[in-house]
Amino acid sequence: MKRYTLCLLAALSCLLSQAQKNVIDEVVWVVGDEAILRSDVEKRRLEYGSQLKGNPYCVIPEQLAIQKLFLHQAIIDSVEVTDNDVNQYVEQDYNQKLLAAGSKEKLEEYMRMPSVQIREELFDQYKNDLTAMRMREQLTADVKVTPAEVRRYFKDLPEDSLPLIPTQVEVQLLVLQPRIPQKEIDRIKELLRDYTERINSGETSFSTLARMYSEDPVSARQGGEMPYMGKAELDPGFANVAFGLTDAKKVSKIAQSEFGFHIIQLIDKRGDKMKCRHILKRPEVAQADIDSALVVLDSITNDIQSEKISFEDAVRYASDDKDTRNNRGILSNINRETGETTTRFQMSELSDLSPELARVVDTLQVGNMSKPFTMINSKGKTVCAIARLKSRTLTHRASITEDFQVMKDIVRNKKGEEIVNKWIREKQKSTYIRINPDWRDCEFQYDGWIK
C-alpha cells in the first residue's frame, strides 16, 4: 500500500510540475469581485484524481463558484470558523500526506514546497471549505421534519432504493487511569515553573515555548493561542484559572485539568468570552503503573465473569471515566449536524475515538467482554480499559422501526438541499458572473451562470 501511495505522490508531483511548466495562469471565472484561476482548477483536479465524475473543467469551477457565493454571504452574516477548527483538519491532512511520503523531506520534494507553505495552503483551503459549510448549515438550520413526512417520503420507495445502513455497534467501557506518582507530577510542575521564570525574565516569549514544548498539538502550532471561548466551553480547572487573569503580561499559576497541567496567558477579553494562550504538559505514565492498572482490571473481569458483580455495577463503582460512568459505561455519539445523541457507532466512528478500541470491539461477540487493554482517550491520556459489546446491528436496508433517525436525516437533508438550491439560483441572478468563453461549453448543475 505504501509503495502504491508513493507512486501516486510521484505521479502527482510530475503532473503538478508539468502543469506549472505548460500552463500560463489566467482568470477563467469571476464571481462578484472574486476570481477563479486556472491554477485553482488544476490544483483541485490533481487532488480529486479519478474520483471526480464529469468534466473537471466544468465541475470544479462551478464548485468553486458556489463556494464563493457562500463565502460572500458568510461575510455579510458574520459567519466564522475558528483557527482551532481549521487546524484540526489541516494537521490530519498533512499527517496523512507525511505518512504516505515517508518523511518530511520526501513530502516537500513531491509537493515542491516547504512544509510551512504546504500547511498554509491547506489552511486556506480548509478555512474556505469550513466557512462555506457553516454558511450552508445556517441556511438550513430551521428545517424541521415530522414523522409523517418521513413515512410519506419512504412509503412508496422500492426496497432496493432504501438507504443501506452500515454495521453499527453499542459499546460499554470500564476505564481505569494508571496511578501518576507525586514525583512525576512534581517534575511536570517544575517544568512549568521554569517556563514561567523564563517568560517573566524576558529570556523568551510564551509563544515560543508553547511551540517548542506544549503537548496540545493544535494550539502549539499557533504559539499556544486558543480561540475566544466562554467559561462553560472549557474544562472547569482550566477555566477557573484562565478567567481569573486580568493582566496580559502575567503568566497564571499552574492549572490542572482533565488534559494535564497548564500555564496560561491572557490575550483579550470580549464580554463573557476570553482569548488566551497556554502550554500543556502531561505527566508520563510509567509501564509499571500501567501494568498495575491492568492487573486490577483483570481482577474486575474475573469478578464479572463469575457473576459476583455485573458489568454495569463495576462501572459505577470502579470506572474513572466520568463521561460513561453514570451511563452504565455506554459510549454515546453526538451528531455534529443535528446535535442529537445516539449510542450507536459505525466502526469507523469508533476509530475516531480510539483505534485501539475499534480493534478490540471488532473481535467481540455480543455480550462478551474484552481482555484488559490500553488506549489513548479523547483527552490524550493513556488509560486502561475493558470493553463489552452490548449490541451489533449488521448492515441492512433502513426501516422506520429500526433506523428512524437515519431516515429522518435523509428527508431533512433533502429539504435542506431544496432550500440551498433555491438560494443559489437567487444569488446567481443578483451576482456579477463572467466566464471565459473557452470555459462555457458545459452542462452545469445550475444553469444560471451564463447570462
CA triplet 224, 228, 229: central angle to 5 degrees?
100
CB atoms within 10 A of CB 385: 26
CA dihedral 50, 56, 62, 67 (to 10 degrees): 40
All three cell numbers of 102, joined, read 515517508
Tell me the C-alpha distance between 356 and 216, whole Å.
21
Domains 168-179+285-394 and 182-281 share a fold: yes
The SS3 of residue 225 is: strand
Tell me the C-alpha distance between 152 and 299, whole Å.
53
**Domain spanning 182-281: CATH 3.10.50.40:** yes
Tell me the C-alpha distance between 423 and 417, whole Å.
10
Nearest to 13 by CA among 130, 100, 135, 139: 100
Q: pTM for the whole thing?
A: 0.61
Q: Where are the domains of the chain?
A: 2-27+35-143, 168-179+285-394, 182-281
Nearest to 215 by CA among 376, 341, 45: 376
Q: Alpha carbon 362 to chain centroid distance?
A: 23
Residues of the chain with pLDDT under 70: 1-24, 334-340, 351-352
pLDDT tens digits, 193-208: 999 999 999 999 999 9
Under CATH, which architecture does the 168-179+285-394 domain have?
Roll (3.10)
The DSSP-derived string for 302-319 is: HHHHTTSS-HHHHHHHH-
